Chain A
Amino acid sequence: DAGVTQSPTHLIKTRGQHVTLRCSPISGHKSVSWYQQVLGQGPQFIFQYYEKEERGRGNFPDRFSARQFPNYSSELNVNALLLGDSALYLCASSLGEWTEAFFGQGTRLTVV
């Protein structure tokens, strides 16, 4: 069985640009969450979606947005990129809204 897949694995963007990150959850999982992990820190919660509805949002600015599609895949969008947005962006999928979360390999974003 395929695990959580994220794309792209790496990308480099310039300050002020926009980026879209993609996530496909484990087959049968209906919940997707997004986390940001800065080097040397634990992941920080950004969003959770369950059954295509936003169920939670962390303490991130409005430049961050996300959505979940009918096939339960998800996109994370970040506008007006800042140098501080450089991080590993992790997607996690869960069978239900509150069950164990399984993470993908992440997308490493570098903003220059």
Chain B
Amino acid sequence: QKEVEQDPGPLSVPEGAIVSLNCTYSNSAFQYFMWYRQYSRKGPELLMYTYSSGNKEDGRFTAQVDKSSKYISLFIRDSQPSDSATYLCAMKGAGSYQLTFGKGTKLSVIP
């Protein structure tokens, strides 16, 4: 079993839809959780950084962490064609420097 599981998709939604992206993990030592957006052939761009269970909102993006279920989510409201990209979840333990990534979910938002 991989430490971080993420459905690679692809996921295709119409413009304006609410998008839900998810990751599960097995390592209970993970304490910090991140979502990155990666456009084709570019480096990952940090979207959200959280370290506690619950929700964190930033504009159209909401990150949700449930440590008891080892499950994290990213919600995108009012999705736009410019949101079309691969979304990577990443996590690390307290005092750790190593990020462990999921495989990424490829999202397409259709105009």
The residues in B between 25 and 40 inclusive whose CB is less than 8 angstroms from any CB of A are 34, 36
User: Which residues of the other chain, A, contact B103 by a CB distance below 8 angstroms?
Assistant: 40-42
Minimum CB–CB distance for B37 against chain A, Å: 11
Minimum CB–CB distance for A65 against chain B, Å: 18
- Main secondary structure, interface of A, reads strand
Contact B34 A100 (CB under 8 A): yes
Complex-state Cα separation, A36 to B9, whole angstroms = 21
Interface residues, chain B, CB within 8 Å of chain A?
4, 6, 8, 34, 36, 41-46, 49, 88, 90, 92, 94-104
Interface residues, chain A, CB within 8 Å of chain B?
4, 6, 31, 33, 35, 40-45, 48, 50, 55-56, 58, 88, 90, 92, 97-98, 100-106, 108
